[in-house]
Amino acid sequence: MGATIKDVAALAGVAVSTASYALNGIGRVSTKTRDKVLDAARQLNYQKNGIASDLKRSRTNTIALLLSDLSGPYYSSLIKGVQEVSLNNGYDLIACSSIGGDSSTAVKFIKEKRVDGAIILAHNIPDRTIMDSAREGFPIVMLDRRLEHESVCYVEADHDKGGLLATNYLIENGHRRIAFVSGPASSKHNKDRYNGFTRAMNDHGLTIEPRWNLIGNFTEEGGYRAVKLMIAQGDLPEAVFFANDEMALGGITALQEAGIRVPEDISVIGFDDIVQARFLNPGLTTVRQPDYEVGALAVHLIFQILKGESVAQHYTLDTELVIRGTVRSIQN
Amino acid sequence: MGATIKDVAALAGVAVSTASYALNGIGRVSTKTRDKVLDAARQLNYQKNGIASDLKRSRTNTIALLLSDLSGPYYSSLIKGVQEVSLNNGYDLIACSSIGGDSSTAVKFIKEKRVDGAIILAHNIPDRTIMDSAREGFPIVMLDRRLEHESVCYVEADHDKGGLLATNYLIENGHRRIAFVSGPASSKHNKDRYNGFTRAMNDHGLTIEPRWNLIGNFTEEGGYRAVKLMIAQGDLPEAVFFANDEMALGGITALQEAGIRVPEDISVIGFDDIVQARFLNPGLTTVRQPDYEVGALAVHLIFQILKGESVAQHYTLDTELVIRGTVRSIQN
DNA sequence: GGATGAAATCGAAACGTTTCGATAGGCTTC
DNA sequence: GAAGCCTATCGAAACGTTTCGATTTCATCC
């Protein structure tokens, strides 16, 4: 269909190699022939076949961001970090989804080496697959997920510390009777956040009431149900720490329905700082992860490895408290 | 670095072509040699080079979604539509951004034919570039943007009708003095929405007051300022139609600050149904575009064209009114 | 046991580039 | 005017597959 470099060379009356040099702006050609070639290319509307070029060069100048779903949930600032750093380094970035697991686009791209490196933010790609695809010279960075392998590294936010921060904040504001609504037991993040919570409680000599250890599964629905249950039990805590914002959203709905005011009657704190958190009234106090920085660091590592420099295998970034309006101060 | 099919063939003691047949599961090989080959592949941890394969086959089995920015704003359901239909048809999908215009990843992918087809949802790729890349056998579908070219088609929502719907709804609820806050004059969407508005007004014999034709530039800030201006003029309308939700958000803030209640004192309607619309209190009444359907249709067209079937060049999909709480009914 | 035909295997070309090493001119320089 | 050097150009190999057509193998049947 389209014209190839051969056609261009023929029309310009030069060898294919010369045409290639001219088109790629490599100095070896005289300006006269360069113009001839570029003219011919224009006439034929020549566009180079990127695939052939990649094959020959054996590099693509592209890195991939593997997401579990292209249509969300949205790691907006993380992606921004990835995007900006890639662009600044002159690399192309593509995103693809791992829906379908081992037969997904995402897996195809790392297995078949269709890119020069990959950042994985997806939990449905088996460890095995990743380890099979990883090799020296093909950098893979995992986000929010650990994988011990010599040519894979990972960066994560400090969820433990985030849990600590949130809990300390509640305690500083005079709360002592604090409930915790967990995500799924299988989630490492949930575990870490909970660890931070217990540590803060213990540090202050506060006891964790088993009846205030609720399960919410990281969903809005789950948070709603957990709070309903808590209300049914009668004895309310002074504050609730939801292990993520979505559960907090559901929980707040349940509280409102029961006529319990936030923060006047009960304080609420979340985790993640999702977009909706800001739009709640009052705004949800929560813990922000340094998403942009995580993304930026991930690509940065890719480039370091690509350049042959060695990097650590594991990076942990700090979390940050975002104070809005759902925690009130209790005067003692 | 990695093993090639040659290595596999050598280890298995067969010809390269036989190895290829075996690995691709094409029937021509005996089960004995197939096993031999697969074994060898496993031993060497062979992964095929997808780029070489694509080159030889001269198709990639992949389509690209070109966005102006990977990190948002989020066309969540549109992307979902694209994604689901691609997957169902056994095609891979990648997303890339057109940041950087003609030197962006997005443009590189369509120019260099690194995919089999593309869906373009980006306004910073010049028409010229798209037309140069389009050719028979390389389907391109434009979203929310018109381009007349024989091998490009486009699908869009009916913004004109959306404007009509919204305005009619206000009128049905007894409003007659209605303000319109526009987006940028350059926006075709804005123009279409405004057309619908004027049509509805004229249909009902209502007059459009020039002083209530405000400019908000499609931004939250712009909406805020437009309403401030309106308030300063003294004479308030009964309802305001914001040409998009973001401006409505800003406008509502301005109203609140002035102590004007929505919808008790003034009704508000938006356009787009962005996520925040639902989280406002009361929820923002607005017009929803059929995003999922737009995405799904776009990919569908790609496949039709890829199969050699002919399709129309232009599709228009209906918009839909989303009734929430910002429009009150006025008793006459 | 030799002819027959299907099934299995092979060799080589091709996809469209890039790039290495070789060649051919055109200058200077003595 | 021959020797020597750049510089511009060329030819060919290579990247790792797939696939066509040819060749071999092997069981089958008279």
What is the distance in angstroms between the Cα of A23 and the nearest Cα belonging to chain B? 14
Query: How far is A37 from A14, CA to CA, in rounded Å?
Result: 8
Q: What SS3 class is residue B255?
A: helix
Specify the pLDDT at position A1. Answer: 64
For residue A79, the chain B residue with the least C-alpha distance is B71
Closest residue to A94, CB basis, from B49, B74, B95: B95
Specify the pLDDT at position B135. Answer: 86
What is the DSSP code (8-state) at residue B135? B
pLDDT tens per residue across all 332 residues of chain A: 689 999 999 999 999 999 999 999 887 788 999 999 999 999 999 999 999 999 999 999 999 999 999 987 778 889 999 999 999 999 999 999 999 999 999 999 999 999 999 999 998 999 999 999 998 889 999 998 889 998 899 999 999 999 999 999 999 999 999 999 999 988 889 999 999 999 999 999 999 999 999 999 999 999 999 999 999 998 899 999 999 999 999 999 999 999 999 999 999 999 999 888 988 889 999 999 999 999 999 999 999 999 989 899 999 999 999 999 999 998 75
Nearest residue: Cα versus C1' of D12: A17
Collect all residues of chain A within an 8 Å Cβ-Cβ radius of residue B139. none
Specify the pLDDT at position A295. Answer: 96
Given a contact cutoff of 8 angstroms between Cβ atoms, the answer to whether B196 and B163 are in contact is yes
With a cut of 90, say whether residue B284 has pLDDT above it.
yes
Q: What torsion do the CA atoms of A147, A149, A154, A158 make, to the nearest 10 degrees?
A: 60
Given a contact cutoff of 8 angstroms between Cβ atoms, the answer to whether A267 and A325 are in contact is no
Residues B186-237 pLDDT 10s = 888 999 999 999 999 999 999 999 999 999 999 999 999 999 999 999 889 9
Collect all residues of chain A within an 8 Å Cβ-Cβ radius of residue B280. 279
Is the CB of A51 less than 7 A from some atom of nucleic acid strand D?
Answer: no
With a cut of 80, say whether residue B274 has pLDDT above it.
yes
What is the distance in angstroms between the Cα of B219 and the nearest Cα belonging to chain A? 17
Do A45 and B94 lie within an 8 Å CB cutoff? no
Mean pLDDT of B50-77: 92
Nearest residue: Cα versus C1' of C10: B15
Specify the pLDDT at position B1. Answer: 65
Q: For strands A286-288 and A62-67, give the pairing.
A: unpaired
What is the DSSP code (8-state) at residue B267? E
Question: Closest Cα partner for A270 from A227, A326, A329?
Answer: A326
Do B281 and A281 lie within an 8 Å CB cutoff? yes
Chains A, B: CB pairs < 8 Å: 141
Do B276 and A280 lie within an 8 Å CB cutoff? no
Least confident of A211-215, B172-176, B271-275: B271-275
- When scoring B69, B71, B108, B252 by the number of chain A Cβ atoms within 10 A, the one with the most, hence best to mutate, is B71
The token pair at A22 is 């001219």
* Nucleotide whose C1' lies closest to the alpha carbon of residue A17: D10
Specify the pLDDT at position B186. Answer: 83
Query: How far is A64 from A214, CA to CA, in rounded Å?
Result: 38
Question: Closest Cα partner for B65 from A97, A16, A285?
Answer: A97
Specify the pLDDT at position A64. Answer: 97
Q: What SS3 class is residue A77?
A: helix
Residues B13-62 pLDDT 10s = 999 999 999 999 887 789 999 999 999 999 999 999 999 999 999 999 99
Do B47 and A113 lie within an 8 Å CB cutoff? yes
- Using the structure, give the distance in angstroms from the CA atom of B5 to the C1' atom of C2, rounded to a whole number: 40
Q: What SS3 class is residue B13?
A: coil
Collect all residues of chain A within an 8 Å Cβ-Cβ radius of residue B79. 70-72
**b/e map of B88-110 (b: 16 or more CB within 10 Å)?**
eeebbbbbbbbbeeeebbbbbbb
What is the distance in angstroms between the Cα of B51 and the nearest Cα belonging to chain A? 6
Do B49 and A112 lie within an 8 Å CB cutoff? yes
Residues B240-260 pLDDT 10s = 999 999 999 999 999 999 999
What is the distance in angstroms between the Cα of A228 and the nearest Cα belonging to chain B? 21
Secondary structure (H, E, C), A244-262: CHHHHHHHHHHHHHCCCCC
- When scoring A96, A103, A104, A115 by the number of chain B Cβ atoms within 10 A, the one with the most, hence best to mutate, is A96
Q: For strands B239-242 and B267-269, give the pairing.
A: parallel
What is the DSSP code (8-state) at residue B208? P
Rounded to the nearest 5°, which phi and psi values hold at B89?
-95, 10
Whole-angstrom CA distances from A190 to A215, A218, B115 are 11, 9, 40
Specify the pLDDT at position B270. Answer: 97
Do B135 and A281 lie within an 8 Å CB cutoff? no
**Please, is A56 exposed, middle or buried when counting C-beta atoms within 10 Å of its C-beta (0-12, 13-18, 19+)?**
exposed
> DSSP H helical segments within chain B, as ranges?
5-12, 16-23, 31-44, 50-57, 76-88, 105-111, 127-133, 159-172, 188-203, 220-232, 245-257, 275-279, 291-306
Question: Closest Cα partner for B86 from B326, B303, B283?
Answer: B303
pTM: 0.86
Specify the pLDDT at position A274. Answer: 87
Nearest residue: Cα versus C1' of C7: B28
Whole-angstrom CA distances from A26 to A12, A21, B294 are 17, 5, 44
Give residue B75's pLDDT band: very low, low, confident or very high (50, 70, 90).
Answer: confident
Query: Interior CA angle at B305 toward B139 and A115, to 5°?
Result: 45
What is the DSSP code (8-state) at residue B331? P
The token pair at B181 is 């806050």
Do A71 and B54 lie within an 8 Å CB cutoff? no
Amino acid identity for residue B258 in this structure:
A
> Locate tokens 């806050």: which residue?
B181
